[in-house]
Chain A
Amino acid sequence: MAERSGAGTVRDLDRVLADLRALSEDIESCAVLSGDRDLIFSSHEPGVDRERVGAMLAALVYLSERVARESGKGNISQLRIDAGGGHLLVVQLDGGGVLAATTGQEARVGLVLYDMRNSRGEVEKALAERGDQ
């Protein structure tokens, strides 16, 4: 079940992310965070605290940016966390937003990241049309 924030339609974003999930069956859930750290799209199950998911995802982005600063690097382009029971994958979007996904432990993570990177342009386009970038 997809949930959205904000008024206007996000049909394009829904379609892009539905295509991504259909293409990459290892993806269990996905979300899009805007450059302002607002949760634009989330595929979470009903009952999960939406605000909490957005805040945790924003915290991860903040931590990544902190590591980038401490390492003397610019921006991050990709984050992969192997977290016990599964993987959390994050791909940076233009404008500071991120596309995130979770997978199971046995997922083909490289392939999922490849598909996420390929969908990045479409997600950016949908966000730009919505005025979130």
Chain B
Amino acid sequence: MKKLLRGLFLLGALAGAVYAARGYLQGRSPAKETVQIVFDDGSVRSLDSNTTQGQEFTDIARKLVETGL
């Protein structure tokens, strides 16, 4: 019984470590997608990819970057 509990404890600790490492690595991944439009009057509009409008741009751009123009 004692061995079983120790095994479960070690298994839980291992799972926790894997989860923490995954979160740490995901937190470090940069690749934030943004859109910047410059108009002819010099003004700039930025769109984040977490907006519907920004996502329309980044979805197409990602494919073009992957395949090449």
Question: Which of chain B's residues have a CB closer than 8 A to the CB of A118?
Answer: none
Closest-CB distance, A37 to chain B (whole angstroms): 14
- Residues of B in contact, count (CB < 8 Å): 28
A48/B65 contact (C-beta < 8 A), A59-B60, A80-B35 known: no
Q: Which residue of chain B is the closest to A28 with respect to CB atoms?
A: B68
Contact of B62 with A by CB under 8 A: yes
8 Å CB contact of B37 from A57, A59, A79, A87: A79
Q: How distant is the Cα of A100 from the Cα of B64 in the complex, in angstroms? A: 10
A91, closest chain B residue (CB): B38
Would you give the 0/1 interface string for A68-100, flagging 1 where the beta carbon is closer than 8 Å to chain B? 100101111111111111111000100000001
Among B40, B43, B65, point to the contact of A85 (Cβ < 8 A).
Answer: B65
CB–CB B34/A67 < 8 A: no
B51 CB to nearest A CB, Å: 11
Q: How far apart sit A42 and B67, CA to CA, in the bound complex (Å)?
A: 12
Chain A interface size range: 35 or more
* Contact call A78/B62, Cβ cutoff below 8 A: no
Which residues of B from 44 to 69 have beta carbons under 8 Å from A?
45, 47, 53, 56-58, 60-69
Q: How far is the CB of B69 from chain A (nearest CB, A)?
A: 4
Can you list 10 A-B pairs with a CB-CB distance of less than 8 A?
A48-B68, A53-B64, A63-B56, A64-B37, A73-B43, A75-B39, A81-B58, A85-B62, A85-B66, A102-B65
A-side residues, CB < 8 A to B, are 28-31, 42-45, 48, 53, 56-57, 59-60, 63-64, 67-68, 71, 73-88, 92, 100-102, 105
Instruction: A59-B60, A63-B56, A82-B33 are known; give 11 further A-B pairs, CB within 8 A.
Output: A43-B68, A60-B64, A73-B40, A73-B41, A78-B38, A81-B58, A83-B61, A83-B62, A88-B64, A101-B69, A105-B31
